[in-house]
A and B are shown apart, each in its own frame.
Chain A
Amino acid sequence: MLRAKAGEQEAFGVLVQRHGKAVLNLIDKMIRDRTIVEDLWQETFVRALENLHTYEPRTPTDGEKGPSFVSWLYRIASNLTLDELRRRGRWRMFSWSSLKPRRSNESESDEEYDPPADQPDAVALLASREDIHRVRAALDSLAPEWRMMLVMREYQDLPYEEIAAILNVPIGTVRSRIARAREQLRQALEKQLSWRAVG
């Protein structure tokens, strides 16, 4: 990290290799459009490089002082992602598609998610594709901030303290919002199951 801070290109490449996947997966679980995901991922690292001088690396003597580097990256990525979702939300309010009647089982996000086809078994692939689509649609129904917290907690397995530090909110807020997000997700998934039963 210090070498990257000193401007070493190779060291920066190592940072990308070390943390790139985690950042990419965070953004990917928030936004379905792969092009936008990749753009935001690139922008995260470009901003990180430009602002490396502002990051104070956590040293063993500092204890809890300052975020870890990956948390700092998550903060940049989450800010960019939430900004993008807010911008799209505003645009959607005035878009023609928002006037179209939405089918009851249609998610908030109208892009089709194309999960990577790396499943070995065809039957398993079909089953998981359906489940994946269901979960993603349920996640999409959550408010972006709640979704972000839930993804950080469930997918990235981050503790409340770290989520609070990344999103700059009190721990109590993280705890209550994650609880509410889980409840909303449960309801959304239940709705989908009932539609499937009716269908």
Chain B
Amino acid sequence: MTCRHCQPLLSPYLDRALSSEEHQKVLSHLTQCLTCTKQLQQLEENRQLIRMLPAVEIPQELEARLLSKVQSRQSTIRHPPSAIHRWWHEWPMLSFGTVATCAASLLFYFAMMQAPSKVSAEEVVSSMDQLIGTLDPDEGERAIAEETPDEAIPEWSNEIESDLFENENEQD
């Protein structure tokens, strides 16, 4: 084994994570190679440096804070919110959008209820027929007659009428 092959294996060698065969190869190389042995020592020293970092203890007040936080959440867990409640909290924008859309739809619906209803063409035709049926056919002529009294008829029309009458008599 050469140094180039050995060096990448030093880290797993330190962790005893090599197969027994690889372990033996590295071990036999280390007995002959000072460079790789020094590198391994360096890795071991750095490990010790990290392990030397002081361990922190849990401050009592931190533990107390956590337990009170958990206590308050526990009631929420025991009484889980309804599906709608959860949905609302997980998708606030979507929920708001849905509610806004529903409100707009309702408004539109009620607005349409107030507006005059649409009438189909057939309904218009039938109602017109009914209307025509109620009318007196002579009413139009009577109305014209009322609107056009005798004095409104020009004199020349009487003359034409009398001329025509005379001509008819002569022919007779």
Contact = CB atoms under 8 A, between A and B. Distances in A.
A126 interface: no
Contacts of B74: 7, 9, 49
A182 B53 contact: no
A65 interface: no
B54 interface: yes
Interface stretch (A39-47, A76-84, A98-106): A39-47
B61 to A, nearest CB: 10
A74 B92 CA distance: 31
B13 to A, nearest CB: 10
A50 interface: yes
Interface stretch (B39-47, B115-123, B125-133): B39-47
B8 interface: yes
B53 A49 contact: no
A118 B56 CA distance: 10
Interface residues of A, number: 44
Interface string B60-73: 00110111011101
A17 B60 CA distance: 11
A155 to B, nearest CB: 6
Contacts of B124: none
Q: Taking chain A's interface residues, is the majority helix, strand, or loop, or is none over half, making it mixed? A: helix
A136 B53 contact: yes
Interface string B107-118: 000000000000
Interface residues of B, number: 33
Given A25-B55, A46-B70, A151 B50 contact: yes
B12 A175 contact: yes
A177 to B, nearest CB: 10
Contacts of B58: 16, 20-21, 24, 41
A166 interface: no
A45 B12 CA distance: 33
Contacts of A7: 74, 77-78
Contact of A13 (B56, B59, B67, B78): B67
Contacts of B53: 29, 115, 132, 135-136, 155
A182 B50 CA distance: 11
Interface centre among A136, A159, A185 (most CB of B within 10 A): A185
Interface string A125-140: 0001001101110010
Nearest to B43: A182
7 contacts: A7-B78, A9-B70, A9-B74, A21-B56, A116-B57, A178-B11, A179-B12
